[in-house]
């Protein structure tokens, strides 16, 4: 659906060269809710502007739905862009126009008949829960309502892709959850691929199935959101994950005859008394050093750091039992 190949973007400001993106390779599949997270200046907003060619790469290719955008003529590029909707952090609404006019603006600019515009606007306002606010002006709306107008406007042309640039960062937590739920509904019911730029790991946690972590113009880590939360590899990723999962990743001191393991428990294994069985079945003594529970989308994850004491063979057997129950067991390195 979306592919970036060796994409670099360089700006020149006051004779100074700034590399915003450096050799980016990224693939976003059809139907994804794909999150791009990074701190300010990481390059994530530049990346999203390249996808709809508001910016052109200095080098490399941006491909959308099988078409390399750099190879398109201006008229062909306009056609591609009509299939890409965008919503913004600060809504970008026309304050002097009604909600209905704001939503219908893409269709008005495309020269659609008035009756077609009115029907589509009514349909979209109902979809985003604002069917009674068409005659209102943006100044009369709350922040969440303004963002719903922005979403309805982005959907006006029936896009295949929806780009969200910090779409919830100006909203309170409750409103953020409602907007994220709306984006999930758009993805599920309209089969629209969503690319979501954010600096909040809670947003990734709530709706993204895949995520790329950016730092200084590079993608430092990319993969399934569930894998990123469970086993972040890069320090920047670990810093983001710590804002959600408070479990400490410092090593635990070990003594002879003990093993310290990290358990990642999800799915059916959550309902099993797996720790309680380790003593009667294997003669092991257990001590939970750390624990945390978190939801990634609708998946509940329990992470435990567990100290096991007993005969080496019995510990091995206990670990084999845990793994057979569908629990991921990772050996913790000793603190020496």
pLDDT digits (tens, 9 = 90+) for 245-271: 765 566 677 777 789 998 989 888 888
Average pLDDT, the chain: 91
The reply to whether 37 and 174 lie within a common domain is: yes
Is 250 within the bounds of a domain? no
Instruction: Return the pLDDT at 268.
Output: 81
Q: Based on the fold, state whether residues 180 and 288 are members of the same structural domain.
A: no
The reply to whether 22 falls in a domain is yes
Pairing type for strands 299-309 and 285-296 reads antiparallel
Beta bridge partners of 7: 24
pLDDT in tens, 201-240: 999 999 999 999 999 999 999 999 989 988 888 999 989 9
Residue 251 domain flag = no
Write out the residue range of the structural domain in which residue 277 sits: 258-331
Residues 62 and 127 in one domain: yes
pLDDT band at 322 (very low <50, low <70, confident <90, very high): very high
Q: In the chain, which ranges are continuous DSSP H helix?
A: 44-51, 74-81, 99-109, 114-127, 143-155, 173-190, 201-207, 225-230, 235-242, 278-282, 312-324
- The total of structural domains in the chain comes to 2
User: Does residue 222 share a domain with residue 99?
Assistant: yes
Q: In this structure, are 270 and 145 located in the same domain?
A: no
Write down the pLDDT at residue 163.
96
pLDDT computed for residue 248 by the predictor: 59
CATH number, domain containing residue 304: 3.30.70.260
Q: Quick one: pLDDT at residue 247?
A: 58
pLDDT digits (tens, 9 = 90+) for 27-84: 999 999 999 999 999 999 999 999 999 999 999 999 999 999 999 998 999 889 889 9
Q: Per-residue pLDDT tens for 149-179?
A: 999 999 999 999 999 999 998 889 999 999 9
Instruction: Based on the fold, state whether residues 213 and 264 are members of the same structural domain.
Output: no
What CATH number should be reported for the domain holding residue 94?
3.40.50.300
Answer yes or no: is 163 within a domain.
yes
Question: 206-243: b or e for each residue (b if 16 or more CB lie within 10 Å)?
Answer: bbbbbbbbbbebbbbbbeebbebbbebeeebbeebbee
Residues 220 and 286 in one domain: no
Position 336 pLDDT exceeds 50: no
Same domain, residue pair 197 and 146: yes
pTM of the prediction? 0.87
Computed on alpha carbons and rounded to an integer, the radius of gyration of the chain in Å comes to 24
**Do 178 and 262 belong together in one domain?**
no
Are 233 and 267 members of one domain?
Answer: no
Tell me which residue of 257, 266, 335, 255 sits closest to 304, measured CA to CA.
266
Confirm whether 277 is domain-assigned: yes
Q: Are the C-beta atoms of residues 283 and 311 closer than 8 Å to each other?
A: yes
**Does residue 268 sit in helix, strand or coil?**
helix
Question: DSSP letters of 52-98?
Answer: TTSS--SEEEEEETTEEGGGS-HHHHHHHHTTEEEEETT----TTS-
Give a yes or no: residue 249 inside a domain.
no
Higher-confidence residue of 134 and 246: namely 134
- Are 91 and 178 found together in one domain? yes
What value, to the nearest 5°, has the Cα angle with vertex 57 and ends 158 and 156? 10
**Last residue of one domain, picked from the residues 242, 271, 304:** 242
Indicate whether 247 belongs to any domain: no
Task: Reply yes or no on whether the pLDDT at 14 is more than 90.
Answer: no
CA–CA separation, 279 and 89 (whole Å): 54
**Residues 222 and 307 placed together within one structural domain of the fold:** no
How confident is the model at residue 298, as a pLDDT?
Answer: 79
Question: 264: phi > 0 → left, psi -120 to 50 → alpha, else beta; which?
Answer: beta
């Amino acid at each position: 659906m979306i592919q970036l190949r060796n994409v670099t973007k360089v700006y020149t400001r006051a004779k100074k060269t700034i590399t915003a993106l450096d050799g980016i390779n990224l693939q976003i599949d059809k139907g994804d809710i794909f999150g791009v997270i990074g701190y300010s200046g990481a390059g994530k907003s530049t990346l999203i502007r390249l996808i709809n060619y508001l910016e052109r790469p200095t080098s490399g290719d941006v491909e959308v739905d099988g078409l390399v955008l750099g190879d398109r003529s201006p008229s062909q590029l306009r056609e591609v862009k009509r299939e890409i909707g965008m919503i913004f952090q600060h809504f970008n609404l026309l304050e002097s126009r009604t909600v209905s006019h704001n939503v219908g603006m893409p269709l008005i600019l495309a020269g659609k008949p008035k009756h077609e515009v009115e029907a589509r606007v009514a349909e979209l306002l109902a979809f985003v829960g604002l069917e009674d606010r068409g005659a209102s002006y943006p100044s009369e709306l709350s922040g969440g309502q303004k963002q719903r107008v922005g979403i309805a406007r982005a959907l006006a042309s029936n896009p295949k892709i929806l780009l969200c640039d910090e779409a919830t960062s100006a909203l309170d937590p409750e409103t953020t959850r409602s907007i994220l739920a709306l984006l999930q509904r758009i993805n599920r019911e309209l089969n629209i691929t969503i690319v979501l730029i954010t600096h909040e790991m809670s947003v990734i946690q709530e709706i993204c199935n895949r995520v790329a972590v950016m730092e200084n113009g590079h993608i430092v880590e990319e993969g399934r959101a569930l894998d990123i939360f469970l086993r972040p590899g890069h320090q920047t990723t670990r810093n983001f994950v710590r804002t959600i999962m408070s479990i400490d990743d410092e090593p635990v001191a070990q003594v002879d005859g003990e093993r310290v393991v990290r358990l990642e428990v999800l799915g059916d294994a959550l309902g099993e008394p797996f720790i309680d069985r380790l003593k009667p079945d294997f003669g092991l003594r257990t001590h939970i050093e750390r624990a945390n529970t978190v939801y990634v989308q609708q998946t509940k994850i329990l992470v435990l750091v567990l100290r096991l004491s007993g005969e080496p063979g019995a510990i091995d057997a206990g670990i084999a039992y845990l793994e057979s129950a569908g629990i991921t067991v990772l050996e913790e390195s000793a603190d020496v």
